[in-house]
Structure formats: C-alpha cells, structure tokens
Amino acid sequence: MKEETMCEYAVCLDNISFTYEGATVIENLSLRVRPGEHIGIVGESGCGKSTVLKIIAGLYEADRGEVVIAGERSPEKIRKHTAVVMQHNNLFPLSIRDNITCGHDISEEAVRIACQNASLTEWIESLPDGLDTNVGERGNQVSGGQAQRIQIARALCKDAQIILLDEPVSALDQDTGQSVLNALNALMYGKTVIHVTHHRETLDHSYTVYRMKGGKLVRE
C-alpha cells in the first residue's frame, strides 16, 4: 500500500500476522480506522482481541505485514500517540500519582480531575499516603478494580489522539462502571477509539463493530 494512503488513517494494519511460540493468533489481518472513528471489537475469549490491541498500542510487533499508527511505524513513537487501558493490570511498582502521570509534567489539578472522573477520589482520600501510596510489585497491593481505574485516570491525563480500551470496566460494579464509561466517553469525543469488549451493549451507535474470528476482523 502507498505510504501517503496509509498515513491518511489513524490506524492502518495491512496483512499482519502474529504468532506466540508456534501458535498463530493473527493471520493476514487488515484494518483501517479513520481519524475520529470509533471501532468496537467483539469475539470469543482467546480469539486474539487483546493481541491486536497490543500491536496497535506499540506494545507488540507484528511478525509480518505493515503497521502504521498515527503515521508512525516505530513502536516507541506509536506509544506516544496512544492511550491504553489494558484488560490486565499493567501498573508500575510506583506511587498511584506516578502511575497516572507516567513521569510527564501533569498538573496536580489535572490529576485530581482525572481521579474524580475515574471514581478514585474516595478511595485515595482513605489512604494514609493518598496519591503517594505505592501500588506494589505489578500493582499487587491494589484490587483489580482499583488498578483498572488508575489506568483510566492515566488515559484521561494523556492527551493522545488514539484511545485503546480492552474491557476497561470489567472489574468494576455496574454503577461505578457506568460512571467511569461516561467519563471515558467525554474523553473520546473527536478522538479515534478502539474498544474491545464482551459487552456489546456498552458500544453506542457511534461504533462500527468488528468480530474477530479465525485470526481476522470481519465487519458485523
């Protein structure tokens, strides 16, 4: 595909394949997402949804095919353009604050608002060290739902054009999940979004939905 055509898209995957130690999970998969478009990905457990998202996030590299995200090909640069809420805990063994800011110069006020929108404030205020509380090795001193909300606050603080969500509220109770989804929806306005979920009903009419099957994405 021509370079200038690929760069028109926020996300361009061209015939990519990916294998984990001999097990092929993605095979000749192509996807184009225009800037500002909202894409939902559904599909059976184990079909490869999280793997595709990690490639788009610049966390994994495809074995074959082309990956151009926000006009970039290098994983390092791709990571600068994407904000990610992963399905499983991906916290650093640092304070809650450092996990939200990731070392970037983000004001105290912006962190406070992100925590509020991620429904974290009450819990953080109950901690003796507040935002300076260490989350432990791989975040093992916080619950799955708290880890998920810290990732969401991180995404809310990062001014990225591409938002990647992998079951972002799966560990939250229904009410908290809904309020956090509302905050995410406000963040997502005008941005490119790829949202992986088993709960199709959380994808509103703005989403084009794809089903992952046999290593490929098929539009529903």
**For residues 84-123, which are near ligand ATP according to CB under 6 A?**
87
Interface pick for Mg ion out of 39, 43, 50, 171 (rule CB under 5 A):
50
CB of 88 to Mg ion, least distance (A): 8
Identify what 192 binds: Mg ion, ligand ATP, none; CB under 5 to 8 Å per kind: none
128 binds, among Mg ion, ligand ATP, none (CB under 5 to 8 A by kind): none
Span from 8-16, 47-55, 92-100, 149-157 in contact with Mg ion (CB under 5 A): 47-55
CA 47 to mean position of chain CA atoms:
18
Residue nearest to Mg ion (CB): 50
Site for ligand ATP in 6-25 (CB under 6 A): 20-21, 25
Q: Which residues bind Mg ion (CB under 5 A)?
A: 50, 87
